[in-house]
A = this chain, B = another copy of it.
């Protein structure tokens, strides 16, 4: 039986919320590794909000995906065939091979995964990009001190769940914001945050204030929108805001139509309270990744660091899962299992 490469390509650029028809499943010939390359068989594909940006033509920190191009993304893969001196058949790696069942790599994007530390899918989450993003933003920008209050948006998510837990390891008080009772219960009971507030509650603003009686020293921003509006008045003098994402706006196509412009109030508060707002991407701090992986492996071994994955089966289901991610319908790090044989 001839084996094919199955891949999902960008069929059209979404206007606002992506639709299933913006993606297309294709079958292509199996790629062949040349000298110094490996053939990867994808086991897990990571789905992450940043991918929405790559689907647009708008100028961004990275090139847009071409129409007809394979959707980008991190994967956990098995080396199926190796013509590269550093890798051997059967090795498990994290790669950046995208929404497809197979790919070739020259090794430059590969990082070995040790299956003894934790399930290999965590190479895409708590022991991968999202875990490291949490660590890099919190320690380089948030800089929480013992006793300070750290508020985390999207606290049940892949990044937020790690932010709150390592804030507690640093001696800070962790307050999570999540959507819905089930996620809130998980953040408090399973992850051990000190408090959690449901941003869908009608009295969200008051509840957040109650949960932060000493104000907010660090706000780890993943969301934007009405969550930012509730956080802003509670920020203390000299508060730090690592700005990691704005998922509530990723489907905005242009300037949001509203009756008010919230920018002047935000800038006024930043000025008057000597607040730092700092955008970042984890690559800027990549030289800290090994330190993070070592520390995180220790926290996982002793039970300090917990995680939750939301695993969807089958490459063909990735588009629907991704659309759900942008609407907060996943619960934990969203991963697609591509190869059911593992």
Residues of B close to A272: CB separation below 8 A: 53, 60-61, 279
Q: Mark A246-274, 1 if CB is under 8 A from B, else 0.
A: 10010010011111111111111111111
**Complex Cα distance A245/B277, Å?**
16
The smallest C-beta distance from A210 to any residue of chain B, in angstroms, reads: 19
Copies in the complex: 2
**Complex Cα distance A53/B245, Å?**
32
A275 proximal to B (CB < 8 A): yes
Task: Determine if A261 and B264 form an interchain contact, defined as CB atoms under 8 angstroms apart.
Answer: no
A107 proximal to B (CB < 8 A): no
Task: Determine if B284 and A279 form an interchain contact, defined as CB atoms under 8 angstroms apart.
Answer: no
Task: Determine if A261 and B271 form an interchain contact, defined as CB atoms under 8 angstroms apart.
Answer: no
Asked, given contacts A237-B61, A243-B270, whether A265 binds B275 with beta carbons under 8 Å apart, the answer is no
A278 proximal to B (CB < 8 A): yes
**Complex Cα distance A284/B237, Å?**
11
**Complex Cα distance A237/B263, Å?**
21
Task: Determine if B243 and A271 form an interchain contact, defined as CB atoms under 8 angstroms apart.
Answer: yes
**Complex Cα distance A265/B271, Å?**
19
Residues of B close to A265: CB separation below 8 A: 255
Instruction: State the majority secondary structure of interface residues on A.
Output: mixed
A103 proximal to B (CB < 8 A): no
The one of B53, B252, B275 that contacts A278, using a Cβ cutoff of 8 Å: B275
A339 proximal to B (CB < 8 A): no
Task: Identify which of residues 197-224 in chain A touch chain B, using a CB-to-CB cut-off of 8 Å.
Answer: 221, 224
Residues of B close to A267: CB separation below 8 A: 221, 224, 228, 243, 246, 249, 277
Task: Identify which of residues 214-246 in chain A touch chain B, using a CB-to-CB cut-off of 8 Å.
Answer: 221, 224, 228, 237, 243-246
Task: Determine if B61 and A273 form an interchain contact, defined as CB atoms under 8 angstroms apart.
Answer: yes
A281 proximal to B (CB < 8 A): yes
Residues of B close to A224: CB separation below 8 A: 264, 267
**Complex Cα distance A260/B254, Å?**
9
Task: Determine if A245 and B260 form an interchain contact, defined as CB atoms under 8 angstroms apart.
Answer: no
A87 proximal to B (CB < 8 A): no
Task: Determine if A275 and B279 form an interchain contact, defined as CB atoms under 8 angstroms apart.
Answer: yes
A12 proximal to B (CB < 8 A): no
The smallest C-beta distance from A326 to any residue of chain B, in angstroms, reads: 15
The smallest C-beta distance from A202 to any residue of chain B, in angstroms, reads: 21
A331 proximal to B (CB < 8 A): no
**Complex Cα distance A244/B270, Å?**
10
Task: Determine if A249 and B268 form an interchain contact, defined as CB atoms under 8 angstroms apart.
Answer: yes
A276 proximal to B (CB < 8 A): yes
> Closest chain B residue to A265 by CB distance?
B255
A-B interface, 5 closest residue pairs, ranked by CB to CB distance from nearest: A271-B279, A255-B260, A258-B261, A262-B263, A270-B279
A-B contacts, 15 of them at CB < 8 A, read: A61-B237, A61-B272, A224-B264, A224-B267, A244-B271, A246-B268, A246-B271, A249-B264, A255-B262, A255-B264, A260-B261, A263-B263, A270-B278, A273-B279, A276-B279
